[in-house]
Structure formats: C-alpha cells, structure tokens
Amino acid sequence: MTALRLDNLEQYSDVLRARSGDEVTLRFVAPRDGEELQAYFRSLSTRSRYNRFLGAMSELPRSLLHHFTHVGLDDGFTVVATMRIDGFETIVGEARYAFHAGSDSVEFGLSIDDRWQGHGVGAALLKNLECRAAALGAARMFGDTLRSNDAMIRLARKSGFAFTNNPDDWKLVRFEKHIAVAAKDNPCASWRIAAASRQVGVVSLAS
C-alpha cells in the first residue's frame, strides 16, 4: 500500500462539482469533527441510516465514532463531503473505506444527506473514491448494500460497477469495479501524491 502522510491530511482534499455546479469539498475527517459527524448521522432519515449501516442505528457508537474520526486506524479511512451553506462548512455526505492487502481491494460504504440526494454529490464522491483507492494501490473496489436500496444500486450501476450476490448474506447485493486510473489524468490529490511517492520508493503506510 502506498504511504500516506497522516501528519498533513489537508493535502489530500479535493474540490468536486455537484450536478448543479455547486462546489463540494472532499476531505479526510479529523478527531475534531466527531461531534459534527455524529450530528450528520443523526440528521439522516431513518431509511438513509438503515441503508448506510445495513440495519437500525440512531447514531454511531462511541467506539465506531473513534474509528471513523481517526484516519488510517486499522487501514480505514473516512472522508466527508462538505459545502458552504449559509456561510458555514456543512457535511452533506461521507464515505468510509478500508484497504484489504490480501486481495488488493478497497471496500467502501457511503451516505448522502437526504436533502442533497439526486444532486450528483454521490456520483462525484464515488468517482473520487475510485481515485483514492487507486492511490492506495488497489486493483478493485467493492461495496455491499441492501437489495432494497434502489438509490445506491442505481448510483453504482451508473458508475460502472458490476453486481454479484453477497457471499454471506442473501439480503445484500455486492457491487464491484476494476480500478483503472490513467497517470496522465491526475484526477485527485491523493493520486498525485501517491505517484510522487512511488517515484522515491515509498511503499508503506506512514505512522
């Protein structure tokens, strides 16, 4: 896995565009974001939270919130999508992904604020996640969702993912995609930094 300099998380931030043209900043979380991230999950509709966590959950348990807000812990990473709303940086989406070295793959899950679903935020976030997975050296990325989660299934299909049965739970469907990020595209900060790291032979996760 390619090294990440976890002492300077801001360098991995990207500015995306929603379908409306609004700017969406995608950045790693920090421990200081814990309260705001918890408030974001509480603000999701019951259905959106159920889809995100594949079961009933009103908020993140303290131990899980700790994992969400500490980047690199157990090779897991959380990013938030934020927008300037009424002059304040506001979380409108999030994603959690983890690198599995044994299979050269990245597993992920994401959610979008109910008010911003259907505005292209999810598509932009998912495309950026593909770049971030490539920066870690992954060959493929995959996720699982409930068979009833039409919005996520539709988003994954439009983003070029193939579908298979989840091997452990018939209620879930798995979507996966081979990662192909061309060097000339330099599509995100994570990829550019990873490419520079490879040139100097950095191959392990920074502590």
191 part of a folded domain: yes
Q: How far is the C-alpha of 143 from the C-alpha of 54, rounded, in Å?
A: 12
Token code pair at residue 116: 């911003």
98 part of a folded domain: yes
Query: What is the domain-level CATH number for residue 26?
Result: 3.40.630.30
Please state, rounded to an integer, the average pLDDT across all residues of the chain.
Answer: 89
205 part of a folded domain: no
56 part of a folded domain: yes
pLDDT band at 193 (very low <50, low <70, confident <90, very high): confident
pLDDT for the residue 117: 94
* Element containing residue 94 per DSSP (H, E): strand 88-100
17 part of a folded domain: yes
* Domain, as residue range, for 127: 9-199
Q: How far is the C-alpha of 133 from the C-alpha of 141, rounded, in Å?
A: 7
67, 73 Cβ separation under 8 angstroms: yes
Q: How many domains does the chain have?
A: 1
pLDDT tens track for 58-73: 999 999 999 999 988 8
207 part of a folded domain: no
Virtual CA dihedral for 166, 74, 159, 22, nearest 10 degrees? 140
168 part of a folded domain: yes
127 part of a folded domain: yes
**Burial degree of 104 (CB within 10 A; 0-12, 13-18, 19+):** middle
Virtual CA dihedral for 89, 132, 78, 52, nearest 10 degrees? 100
Question: Among the listed ranges 17-31, 40-54, 126-140, 186-200, which one has the minimum average pLDDT value?
Answer: 186-200
pTM (2 d.p.): 0.89
